[in-house]
């Protein structure tokens, strides 16, 4: 799917670069995704049976299959045929971000405490101050009460009467239907999530999600491919739930032919693998040393694989050298022997010609 050396499925056969993936692997994957994720088994099976009934004993073209599947199922599949059969893009979806919200009450006695906790989580205590406290150092302000003032007892999140009066005025200004909506929102206490998706492969696809909640429950939902109709590169999905979501996984069942699953979870999961241990051999070949090694015998191979380099020339080596010299001398004598053989052949040929002449001369007489 990610190969750059490919052509669309609907390519003339003499221009296809890879017949195997183009004729078998990619069309099979497309039909599986169409049946299991896009259309659903019931709609796909009905439309496929209708296609077989309409075109039995005939010669349908791919376009006939496309039109029949859409007509029988009443599902617009133009985006699917265009991406899978007329293009070379691949499916690679990623979750790039998740934002969590809750509707604020507006009550300062509640919101100020929440703001204080969020501020502490965002800006932790100064490390110098924390380590001084751990070492038992007491600040000068705590040793001398006269140094305390108003701001030591009240921080920026302290609730004032002005804040309470402002909230009361806000409630009094709501109409009846607005107050009803406000009370319902406070009663439900729902969590609002904005999930950002990115299409990194170019081929749009439905988004099968699995939600993991803080209380251990799970939920599966499929976002249809129509979510990409306005922006085929980046989209945001709104999810509202009563319980808090801890993590979201995209295509956990591997049903969209996604090319890269490392970015399909939020928070991102740690990738685990195994390392193979091996012993490296960095010795270089030394031809001079290899030529001086002794030839292994059966006994030597059983004792060890490495033979020591002889410091002096062994008897075997001397004998081998003597045989090589004798072979070289014999090769030097071969040209002379060949000349003698040629002379003997010429003498035999001349004597045979003389005998034939004599026989012919007698016959002539």
Cβ–Cβ under 8 Å, residues 258 and 249? no
Lowest-confidence range among 21-25, 100-104, 109-113, 223-227? 21-25
Q: Which residues contact 44 (CB under 8 A, 6 or more apart)?
A: 34, 35, 69, 73
- pLDDT tens sequence across 45-104: 999 999 999 999 999 999 999 999 999 999 999 999 999 999 999 999 999 999 999 999
pLDDT of residue 92: 96
Where do runs of H (alpha helix) occur along the chain? Answer: 19-20, 26-33, 41-54, 62-73, 78-85, 108-122, 127-134, 140-143, 150-153, 161-172, 176-188, 287-291, 298-303, 315-364
309 vs 216, 292, 295, 322, CA distance in Å?
70, 7, 11, 21
Gap between the Cα atoms of 308 and 294, Å rounded:
8
Same domain, 168 and 150: yes
The domain boundary, picked from 228, 249, 270, lies at 270
What is the mean predicted confidence (pLDDT) over 313-335? 57
pLDDT reading at 188 higher than 70: yes
Cβ–Cβ under 8 Å, residues 37 and 256? yes
**Listed residue (182, 10, 157) closest to 87, CA to CA:** 10
- What's the alpha-carbon Rg for the chain, to the nearest Å? 45
Calculate the average pLDDT of the chain. Answer: 85
pTM > 0.85: yes or no: no
Is pLDDT larger for residue 349 or for residue 338? 349
For 258, which DSSP code? -
Same domain, 218 and 97: yes
Same domain, 178 and 200: no
The domain boundary, picked from 188, 219, 241, lies at 188
Which pLDDT band, with edges at 50, 70 and 90, does 363 fall under?
very low
Which pLDDT band, with edges at 50, 70 and 90, does 304 fall under?
low
Q: Is the peptide bond before 267 cis (omega within 30 degrees of 0)?
A: yes
Note whether residue 35 is domain-resident. yes
Gap between the Cα atoms of 263 and 96, Å rounded:
8
Total domain count, the chain:
3
Domain range for 182 is: 106-188
The domain boundary, picked from 220, 237, 270, lies at 270
pLDDT of residue 316: 54
pLDDT of residue 302: 57
pLDDT reading at 314 higher than 80: no
Gap between the Cα atoms of 66 and 160, Å rounded:
68
Note whether residue 344 is domain-resident. no
- pLDDT tens sequence across 103-152: 999 999 999 999 999 998 899 888 998 999 899 998 888 888 888 888 77
Same domain, 97 and 214: yes
Same domain, 228 and 182: no
Same domain, 211 and 251: yes
Q: Which residues contact 33 (CB under 8 A, 6 or more apart)?
A: 84, 205, 255, 256, 257
Same domain, 255 and 121: no
The 8 Å CB, 24+ separation contacts for 275-278 are none
Same domain, 184 and 136: yes
Same domain, 35 and 96: no
What is the mean predicted confidence (pLDDT) over 201-216? 96
């Amino acid at each position: 799917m990610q190969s750059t050396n490919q052509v669309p499925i609907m390519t003339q056969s003499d221009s296809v670069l890879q017949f195997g993936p183009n004729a078998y692997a990619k069309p099979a994957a497309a039909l599986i995704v169409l049946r299991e994720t896009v259309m659903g088994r019931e709609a796909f099976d009905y439309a496929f049976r209708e296609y077989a009934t309409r075109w039995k004993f005939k010669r349908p073209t791919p376009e006939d299959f496309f039109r029949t599947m859409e007509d029988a199922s009443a599902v617009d599949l133009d985006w699917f045929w265009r991406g899978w059969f007329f293009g070379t893009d691949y499916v690679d979806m990623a979750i790039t971000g998740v934002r969590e919200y809750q509707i604020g009450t507006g009550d300062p006695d509640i919101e100020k405490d929440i703001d204080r906790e969020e501020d502490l989580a965002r800006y932790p205590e100064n490390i110098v101050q924390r380590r001084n406290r751990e070492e038992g150092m007491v600040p000068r302000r705590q040793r001398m009460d006269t140094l305390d003032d108003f701001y030591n007892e009240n921080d920026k999140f302290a609730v004032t009467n002005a804040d309470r009066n402002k909230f009361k005025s806000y409630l009094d200004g709501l109409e009846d239907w607005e107050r009803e909506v406000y009370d319902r929102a406070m009663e439900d206490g729902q969590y609002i999530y904005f999930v950002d998706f990115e299409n990194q492969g170019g081929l749009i696809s439905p988004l099968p999600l699995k939600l993991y909640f803080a209380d251990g429950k799970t939920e599966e939902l499929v976002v249809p491919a129509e979510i990409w109709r306005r922006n085929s590169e980046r989209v945001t999905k709104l999810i509202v739930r009563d319980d808090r979501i801890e993590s979201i996984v995209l295509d956990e069942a591997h049903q969209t032919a996604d090319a890269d699953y490392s970015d399909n979870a939020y928070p991102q999961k740690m990738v685990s693998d195994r390392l193979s241990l091996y012993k490296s051999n960095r010795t270089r070949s030394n031809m001079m040393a290899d030529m001086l090694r002794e030839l292994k015998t059966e006994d030597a191979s059983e004792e060890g694989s490495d033979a020591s380099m002889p410091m002096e020339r062994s008897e075997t080596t001397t004998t081998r050298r003597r045989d090589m010299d004798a072979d070289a001398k014999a090769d030097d004598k071969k040209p002379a022997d060949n000349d003698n053989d040629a002379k003997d052949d010429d003498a035999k040929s001349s004597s045979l010609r003389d005998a034939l002449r004599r026989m012919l001369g007698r016959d002539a007489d």
